[in-house]
């Protein structure tokens, strides 16, 4: 049961990276967590979760590549910022979840505060991306990009300060009562996701004829919801059932990756036409340079009586040779004299 402003029940259920730094001087230890493995005389915690983090980094790199390749897509530069932030989070999570940076290290609170700031900035970036489709500011312009960057930077700074102040107990913050950290770490992401989903539903229903993108939105919401439920409600059950080989954090990380992939799938589905139109929307306009191919009305005039008496349908045509009444008639041989049978 999640209580407002308290990480006690949360951290007893799930091994979050902030749990060793709050609640008490020793932190809050989870009731059940996955087994660790020893690699090169180094203990690696949450090995299955670390594997998912590595997969997430690779998948995010692929998504970034595809987003960057759609040069004319709406909101391309804005959405790629979101994926860059998510990739940085996954990279940092590898070192924090695995305890490569030990929880007893003096650097651990600082890296955790950076991680907390990045999480807040990423959700803020997603929230701002929700407004891009409404074109309050034209996408890709300095106004749109800097509004996104400054909002994300501000949220990062606020979250980083609250986190490190809570861990170090200064500026009125206390790790025993981490209300501010609870708001930015648990409540703010939920608010951003809800607003983003509502905005995208409004965008699809009001401006798009295709309703298939709604399916992408719903799948993304489903994966996000499952991630939260599994982590906070069934993590202990899963951990005990599989004898500590994995816990709820594994499925949480996996479902969060799938939800981010659905964000990409949704964005791709509503912008895929832009690149096609940019390439194929302009019809080819050809200018005929050869007077023979130009025919009548293209700057070449023929005597009125020169082709008098020709059979209907045998008059000079545009872009084709005109056929004579008889191939043996003087002056009317095929091909025309002086052209040697070649078409210019």
- Position 113 scores a pLDDT of 96
- Position 32 scores a pLDDT of 82
Centroid of chain to Cα 272: 13
Per residue in 212-261, pLDDT (tens digit) is 899 999 999 999 999 999 998 888 888 888 888 888 899 999 999 999 99
Secondary structure E strands in the chain: 37-39, 42-44
- Position 334 scores a pLDDT of 38
CA distances, 299 to each of 173, 288, 344 (Å): 85, 11, 17
- Domains of the chain and any CATH numbers: 8-280 (1.20.1070.10), 286-327 (no CATH)
Per residue in 66-89, pLDDT (tens digit) is 998 888 888 889 999 999 999 999
In this prediction, residue 339 has a pLDDT band, given cuts at 50, 70 and 90, of very low
Q: Which of 298, 297, 328, 324 has the alpha carbon at shortest distance from 313?
A: 324
The average pLDDT across 182-208 equals 93
Comparison of pLDDT for 189 and 137, the residue scoring more: 189
Hey, what are 319's tokens? 């872009």
153 phi and psi, to 5 degrees?
A: -65, -40
**Residue 229 contacts by C-beta under 8 Å, 6 or more apart in sequence?**
none
CA distances, 91 to each of 61, 115, 118, 176 (Å): 12, 10, 11, 29
Long-range contacts of 189-194 (CB under 8 A, 24+ apart): 189/119, 189/120, 189/123, 192/123, 192/124, 192/126, 192/127, 193/123, 193/126, 193/221, 193/224
Check pLDDT > 50 for residue 210.
yes
Q: Which of 203, 220, 224 has the alpha carbon at shortest distance from 261?
A: 220
Check pLDDT > 50 for residue 324.
no
Using CA atoms in the order 20, 25, 30, 33, what is the torsion angle rounded to 10 degrees?
A: 50
Go through 14-23 and write b for each residue having 16 or more CB atoms within 10 A of its CB, e for each that does not: bbbbbbbbbb
Interatomic CA distance for residues 332 and 330, integer angstroms = 5
């Amino acid at each position: 049961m999640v209580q407002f402003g308290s990480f006690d029940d949360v951290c007893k259920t799930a091994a979050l990276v902030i749990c060793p730094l709050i609640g008490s001087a020793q932190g809050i230890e989870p009731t059940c967590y996955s087994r660790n493995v020893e690699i090169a005389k180094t203990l690696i915690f949450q090995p299955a979760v670390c594997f998912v983090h590595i997969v997430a980094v690779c998948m995010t790199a692929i998504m970034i590549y595809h987003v960057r390749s759609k040069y004319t897509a709406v909101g391309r530069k804005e959405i790629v910022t979101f994926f860059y932030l998510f990739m940085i989070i996954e990279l940092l999570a590898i070192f924090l979840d695995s305890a490569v940076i030990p929880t007893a290290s003096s650097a651990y609170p600082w890296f955790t505060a950076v991680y907390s700031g990045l999480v807040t900035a990423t959700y803020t970036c997603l929230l701002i991306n929700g407004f891009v489709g409404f074109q309050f500011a034209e996408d890709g312009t300095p106004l749109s990009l800097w509004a996104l960057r400054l909002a994300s930077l501000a949220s990062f700074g606020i979250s980083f300060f609250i986190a490190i102040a809570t861990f170090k107990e200064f500026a009125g913050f206390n790790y025993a009562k981490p209300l501010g950290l609870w708001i930015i770490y648990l409540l703010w992401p939920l608010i951003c996701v809800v607003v983003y989903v509502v905005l995208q539903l409004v965008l699809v229903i009001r401006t798009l004829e295709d309703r298939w993108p709604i399916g992408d939105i719903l799948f993304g919401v489903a994966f996000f919801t499952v991630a939260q439920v599994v982590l906070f409600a069934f993590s202990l059950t899963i951990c005990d059932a599989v004898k500590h080989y994995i816990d709820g954090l594994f499925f949480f990380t996996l479902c969060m990756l799938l939800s981010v992939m659905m964000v990409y799938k949704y964005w791709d589905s509503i912008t895929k036409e832009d690149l096609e139109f940019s390439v194929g929307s302009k019809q080819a306009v050809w200018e005929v340079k050869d007077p023979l191919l130009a025919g009548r009305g293209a700057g070449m005039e023929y005597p009125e009586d020169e082709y008098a008496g020709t059979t209907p349908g045998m008059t000079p045509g545009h872009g084709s040779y005109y056929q004579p009444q008889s191939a043996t008639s003087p002056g009317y041989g095929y091909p025309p004299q002086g052209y040697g049978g070649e078409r210019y």
